[in-house]
Structure 1
Amino acid sequence: MLDKEMSFDQESMLEHFIPVDINDLIAGLLTELDLPEEEKRLFKQFCKIFLALYHAHFFTKLQSLKHNYLPFSPDRTTLLLQTHSNEALQVMQNTLIEEIKGIITKANYRPIGQEELNQALSETSPYGLDLSIDFDDFDEIHLYYRGWASRTEQKRSWRTFFLTPETIEIPIYRRLFLVLKLKPAKKTEGTTSFFSDPKAFMLDKWRQLFQMQMSQEGDNSVIYLKLFKDIPRADLEMLFPNTRVEMRRLDKFKIGVGGGGGVIGGIFTVVSKLARAAHPAAILLAVASFMGLMWRQAGKVLSSRNRYLSVLAKSLYFHNLDNNLGVLSNLIEMAEEEECKEAILAYGLLLHKQHQGCSAHQLDRLIEDHLQKLYGVEVDFEMSDGIRKLSEAGLIEETLDHLIKPCSLNDALLRLDQEWDGLFSFENCSA
């Protein structure tokens, strides 16, 4: 089910995500660095090789991730030549989920915990929808977001008697990633009959149809991956496939008052006509008029529901970015770019003559100040991750007094060139 990470207030917590394109970051570093022209040329070459190396590493991860996802993909077009037991599928599923969590974390997404989700579900939708979902239908639910913002809209309210629009703030998730896996369908004995409990009967039928559609005609191993953009926090329900649209109390009241008054008036009219009527044709006409009135009121209910469904469909059409296998490619690309941003920013600022030989904390502040100064963005730079990548590549060294120093650009290019040659060496290819 949902991840157990603690919920937090997004508006007061900075993100690790760096909302600047990698090419703009490199151009900004070249502007800020106090380097001779020859070293600036070497730095451009360093960035080019570093990006190519990381692209090769992440391409290998993508191929592995796609292979592991194949048994669970709802869009599979190739043959699945190997069958797995339920126990083996469960192990593979757990491994796949952990791999996806690792990639989504590298892409600087944050998990949405149960407390935050409950808060979002309790808010009123800006689209005027009342939605409900049953989380018991799912075996796996994982929600992650990246980028927190808000947009303003003009909306008429009863507070101003619907005369003048007022400005409202709508909190949104800029990117939102969703993992869903359905629970195995339950075989129910003695299903509720329509006459004993019509609502429960229709709900059971709807759930059976939903289970059949989502489980790919009975295949309960399917895992759905979804990527969305600009999702209002109050509309998280619309991302789930078992969402049920419910009318708001105001709409129920309007239909109830209008429809109820019409039905009562119709009953009185029919009764009075029946009391005066002696001819069978007159009686049939009165009954037909009453049935027509009932059909019109039912049509109003269906019209309101269809209007809600139309709003929901349009919202999903414009908010959906990718699905299933395509989501994996998107996540890998985002993780690759975020990892490169962190490493290049750290190494680039260490090259500045004034910053060579600084502590990790000082470097962290330098990078955050650099991003604020050049791009006006505030982030919580993930210093430990940036240092780890540079250290693994042999591009920095730490002195006995815990100061970080970069190797020269010439040495850095030599080491990257050696790593590139090793990546496609005969030993690695045969392995």
Structure 2
Amino acid sequence: MAVYQDREAFIPYSRQEIVELCIADGKIAIAEQQSFRDFCQILAAYYHFKLHSSLETLKFNFVSFDPDIDNYQPIKQLDVRSSIRENEVEFISTFTTILEQANYYPLSKSTLQQALSEGSIFDLRTEVDFNDFDHMVCYCRGDSSEKITVKKWFFKKVEQEVDIYKRVVLLIKFKEEKHFQDKPAAKEELDFKPGKIYIYLYKNLSKLDLEFIFPNVKMSMNWKDRLLFGVPALGAAIPLILRILPQIILILGVLVYFTLGHQPIDELKVQEEEVRNIAPLLIAILSLVVTLGGFAFKQYTSYKSKQIKFQKSITETLFYRNIANNSGVFNSLIDAAEEEECKEIILAYYHLLTSDTPLTALELDDHIESWMEDKLGTKIDFDIENPLRNLAAIKAEIKRSEDTTYAVKQVALLKRDRHNRCQVLPLAEAKQAIDYVWDHIFLYS
């Protein structure tokens, strides 16, 4: 079973497409093709129900941390909820399990910090304070690339290819309010609620711009923008200083006159009558304040204007790439997990069903990967142990004929022989088995 560093376990096709691809392979008899579709359908229904319990667990444990619920108060008299800490641990554990079932893989903190240190398509200097978080989970899926148009020097636009993640999920649990009271930002300036969990699901995000999805990201201008503002400012300041130099000398003369007397005034070439006359002094001060103030205001408004353009660009990009937030993410992930689980099981079952000889897990894994590459040109790193474990877990009691009688036998969809080779039930019995499991989910009678 080969391990690939440049492949994902994610299968980029729908469950229905995988079912029809198996049938089009021509190894299932025409008379059994509908039975195969029926098996896949009831399998999907079973996993839809099974993962529904995970959805209920997520919803139950998220209530205390949901930032979209105001003034939540648990009913303490009922004593049905465990401690807040236990809710948090169970929620994050269930959430990461669902992500892994949906074939997402984790991004490390070092990968996120690399995104902060390297260049950005937004050309911004950014900073994220990871100390604000009690817990952080970041998973992605779909390593790809896309072409974008970016503006370079002198307003030149060029086409650039950037590496992207097709899907990115971020979960962050902010620290409690006390942590932020000691920081420079006041509580009312925060764009988030301390102590709450925020969840984001995005599509087609550049690998270098992952920091922009953090609600506590701080933005500032990079060296190029500082240079673009600094050079014109310096160029405008030099003639300005030369123009107001007489007023500066006059003000300096006043200060010297009142502190050291009239002797040093001669060295500054300032007339004592000018110093004694307060009217020119007031005019000089007013002229200096207005000139410098106007120049500073012009530079400040130019900076703010560019900062607003940056923020507008980021807001628009994240708006169009945002799929869901907070509890709205649950249904998307549950659906994705259901799809991936079923696709893996269907592929494993089909190839064991149509194989001329029993296969080991290693042989089956390599066979499925080669089959996907041959049929679709898609290279995947198939996770074989998960579907085999799921197939073996589906156990049932079915009737089997023995000579002239019928005997009830307990069977599993998959079993292994003493050489660890895998075999699955034929289609007719597999349908009976999954139907038995479905019928015995609730046993109230």
TM range (shorter): 0.7 to 0.9
* Shift in Å, 1:21: 1.0
Confirm or deny: 8 A CA contact 1:245 1:308 kept in the other structure.
no
Encode CA deviations 1:206-262: one digit per residue, 9 max, x unaligned: 354454x422xxxx4311111111111111110111111110111101111112222
Q: Using a 3 Å threshold, how does the CA distance of structure 1 residues 286 and 77 change in structure 2: closer, same or farther?
A: closer
Return the alpha-carbon distance in structure 1 between the equivalents of residues 20 and 120 of structure 2: 42
Question: Which segment drifts farther, 326-335 or 272-281?
Answer: 272-281
Aligned to 2:328: 326
| SS of residue matched to 1:206 | coil
Return the alpha-carbon distance in structure 2 between the equivalents of residues 350 and 285 of structure 1: 89
* Shift in Å, 1:20: 1.0
Return the alpha-carbon distance in structure 1 between the equivalents of residues 72 and 132 of structure 2: 29
Aligned to 1:131: 126
Larger radius of gyration: 2
Structure 1 segments unaligned to the other structure (5+ residues):
1-9, 192-203
Are 1:407 and 2:425 an aligned pair?
yes
| SS of residue matched to 1:229 | strand
Encode CA deviations 1:72-129: one digit per residue, 9 max, x unaligned: 1112379643359xx9212221121111111111111111112322322221001212
* Shift in Å, 1:137: 1.2
Q: Using a 3 Å threshold, how does the CA distance of structure 1 residues 93 and 214 change in structure 2: closer, same or farther?
A: same
Aligned to 1:82: 75
Return the alpha-carbon distance in structure 1 between the equivalents of residues 284 and 73 of structure 2: 68
Question: Which segment drifts farther, 87-96 or 32-41?
Answer: 87-96
Q: Using a 3 Å threshold, how does the CA distance of structure 1 residues 283 and 362 change in structure 2: closer, same or farther?
A: closer
Q: Using a 3 Å threshold, how does the CA distance of structure 1 residues 345 and 133 change in structure 2: closer, same or farther?
A: same
Return the alpha-carbon distance in structure 2 between the equivalents of residues 115 and 247 of structure 1: 23
* Shift in Å, 1:285: 6.0
Return the alpha-carbon distance in structure 2 between the equivalents of residues 125 and 163 of structure 1: 18
CA-based RMSD of the aligned residues comes to 2.9
Selected match of 2:219 from 220, 245, 255: 245
Encode CA deviations 1:291-313: one digit per residue, 9 max, x unaligned: 22221111111112112111221
Question: What amino acid is aligned across from residue 306 of structure 2 in structure 1?
Answer: S
| SS of residue matched to 1:401 | coil
Greater RCO (CA < 8 Å, at least 6 residues apart): 1
Q: Using a 3 Å threshold, how does the CA distance of structure 1 residues 210 and 133 change in structure 2: closer, same or farther?
A: farther
Return the alpha-carbon distance in structure 1 between the equivalents of residues 65 and 285 of structure 2: 62
Identical aligned residues as a percent: 29
| SS of residue matched to 2:111 | helix
Return the alpha-carbon distance in structure 2 between the equivalents of residues 237 and 41 of structure 1: 49
**TM-score (ref. length: structure 2):** 0.81
**TM-score (ref. length: structure 1):** 0.84
Return the alpha-carbon distance in structure 2 between the equivalents of residues 188 and 382 of structure 1: 43
Return the alpha-carbon distance in structure 2 between the equivalents of residues 207 and 70 of structure 1: 26
Selected match of 1:349 from 345, 348, 351: 351
Confirm or deny: 8 A CA contact 2:54 2:94 kept in the other structure.
no
Selected match of 2:290 from 288, 291, 303: 288
Return the alpha-carbon distance in structure 2 between the equivalents of residues 295 and 11 of structure 1: 57
Structure 2 segments unaligned to the other structure (5+ residues):
251-273, 395-411
Confirm or deny: 8 A CA contact 1:356 1:404 kept in the other structure.
no
| SS of residue matched to 2:161 | strand
Aligned to 1:374: 375
Aligned to 1:3: none
* Shift in Å, 1:367: 1.0
* Shift in Å, 1:416: 1.2
Q: Using a 3 Å threshold, how does the CA distance of structure 1 residues 308 and 417 change in structure 2: closer, same or farther?
A: same
* Shift in Å, 1:265: 2.6
| SS of residue matched to 1:426 | coil
Return the alpha-carbon distance in structure 2 between the equivalents of residues 139 and 63 of structure 1: 24
| SS of residue matched to 2:137 | strand
Are 1:35 and 2:28 an aligned pair?
yes
Return the alpha-carbon distance in structure 1 between the equivalents of residues 39 and 374 of structure 2: 24
* Shift in Å, 1:381: 0.5
Confirm or deny: 8 A CA contact 2:166 2:204 kept in the other structure.
yes
The within-5 A match list for 1:362-401 is 362-393=363-394, 394-401=412-419
Between the two proteins, the alignment pairs up a number of residues equal to: 395
Return the alpha-carbon distance in structure 1 between the equivalents of residues 118 and 84 of structure 2: 37
